[in-house]
Amino acid sequence: MKKIAILGFGVVGSGVAEVLTQNKKIIESKLNEEIEIKYILDLRDFPDSPFADKVIHDFDIILNDSEISIVVEMMGGSHPAYDFSKASLLAGKNVVTSNKEVVAKFGTELLQIAKENNVRYLFEASVGGGIPIIRPINNDLVSNKITGIDGILNGTTNYILTQMNENGTSFADALKDAQAKGYAEADPTADVEGIDAARKIVILSSLSFGKCISPEKVSRQGITQVSTEDFEIAKSLGYTIKLIGHAELINGKILATVSPRFIPLSNPLAHISDVYNGILVEANMLDKVLFYGKGAGKLPTASAVVADIMDIAQKMSNEQAPIIEWTNATDEDIADINDYLCKRCIIANGEAIITEKINLADAEKIAASYSANYKIYSIL
């Protein structure tokens, strides 16, 4: 039997308990052993929950309990999630997380500590919610060189952009709708400003290219300036607009961007709607492969977390499993945004100009020659 502790009993944490309970038989038959939730750490009590007797408030109980071999960090935010994860790994416990903020900021260090302590740090649910993407890149695509990634990585913004595209809803109204439906947080900054997507593209580019750039180094633009008029222009030219996390190597240097982009309707990403996510990975032997599914939500995300728990239950040590490893990128490893050439759509005076492949600085010069007020969308 493997005994686990869940840190944080919010949406995903309680979803993990639900998946482990609802699918108990199928999980046990696949593992040939039981997974038991021994502790749930939270600041709150949950007197009406069937797991009420597991709830504790002191992390040290978990840290000092040698029976706990897997810690499931579902807290969100950097601290104390990072601190508890680090302490758990140093104590020889495996850690599973869905926390993209911690993986993007501290993943290099935590993976190294896991390696040194012969345990595992897994984070399948940190990108794409329930969509398998981390393990496929690390395991199944291992014979390929990844050449590029384009992903709709944030469900909330995809929902907002879908409403704007399909119903002509304004950004402000679509955001209110997303909040009412519980997709967007009361403070939607991390979603609408592309911060969440930037963390996710950092994780994917680290896995793909072996170097982790800091999320602050991602060239990032959110969706707050996208208007319904921009959608009308895009439509008239055979495009739609999606918030895309993009990563590629330019002359061996990592380019990572998050921005609203014009997507030709012939591209499958153009048709990924509502809160769904889609990640198009380009690999040198396989060519393009699309990962599509529910990128957020309690049970989809929890199912990916439980898959990591089961993976660890089968292969407890780093020596038995395909290792995830990357180092921190230096400034030398990061491409200059102006080395990135792509077609662009310049919108000025209500008119649209489609350019050849040019860099951002040249696009800005062209745009400024038309009007002081312009927008530039890169085209995928």
Q: Which residues bind ligand HSE (CB under 6 A)?
A: 129, 154-156, 191, 196, 295-296
Residues 303, 124: Cα–Cα separation, whole Å: 10
Measured from the CB atom, is 26 or 180 closer to ligand HSE? 180
The question of whether 200 is a catalytic residue gets the answer yes
167: left (phi over 0), alpha (psi -120 to 50) or beta: alpha
For residue 183 the two structure tokens come to 């997709």
Q: Which residue has the tokens 């969100």?
A: 76
In the complex, minimum distance from the CB of residue 135 to ligand HSE, in angstroms, rounded to a whole number: 17
In the complex, minimum distance from the CB of residue 100 to ligand HSE, in angstroms, rounded to a whole number: 6
Q: Please choose, from the candidates 135, 115, 107, the residue with its C-alpha nearest in 3D space to the C-alpha of residue 213.
A: 107
In the complex, minimum distance from the CB of residue 183 to ligand HSE, in angstroms, rounded to a whole number: 6
For 258, the enclosing helix (H) or strand (E) is strand 253-264
In the complex, minimum distance from the CB of residue 211 to ligand HSE, in angstroms, rounded to a whole number: 23
Query: Are the C-beta atoms of 304 and 130 separated by less than 8 Å?
Result: yes
Measured from the CB atom, is 249 or 256 closer to ligand HSE? 256
Measured from the CB atom, is 160 or 263 closer to ligand HSE? 160
| Side chain identity at residue 276, one-letter code | Y
Residue whose CB is nearest to ligand HSE in the complex, by number: 156
The β-bridge partners of 152 are 278
Catalytic residue among 86, 105, 200, 242: 200
Cα–Cα distances in angstroms (integers) from residue 187 to residues 150, 158, 372, in the given order: 26, 17, 32
Query: Are the C-beta atoms of 239 and 259 separated by less than 8 Å?
Result: no
Query: Are the C-beta atoms of 205 and 254 separated by less than 8 Å?
Result: yes
Interacting residues of 357 by C-beta distance below 8 A, sequence separation 6+: 341, 342, 343
Measured from the CB atom, is 77 or 322 closer to ligand HSE? 77
Other CB atoms within a 10 A radius of the CB of residue 89 amount to: 24
Measured from the CB atom, is 194 or 295 closer to ligand HSE? 295
Measured from the CB atom, is 15 or 295 closer to ligand HSE? 295
Sign of torsion over alpha carbons 293, 296, 302, 307: positive
Query: Are the C-beta atoms of 126 and 103 separated by less than 8 Å?
Result: yes
Cis peptide before 80 (omega within 30 of 0): yes
In the complex, minimum distance from the CB of residue 224 to ligand HSE, in angstroms, rounded to a whole number: 15
In the complex, minimum distance from the CB of residue 229 to ligand HSE, in angstroms, rounded to a whole number: 25
Q: Which residues belong to the active site?
A: 200
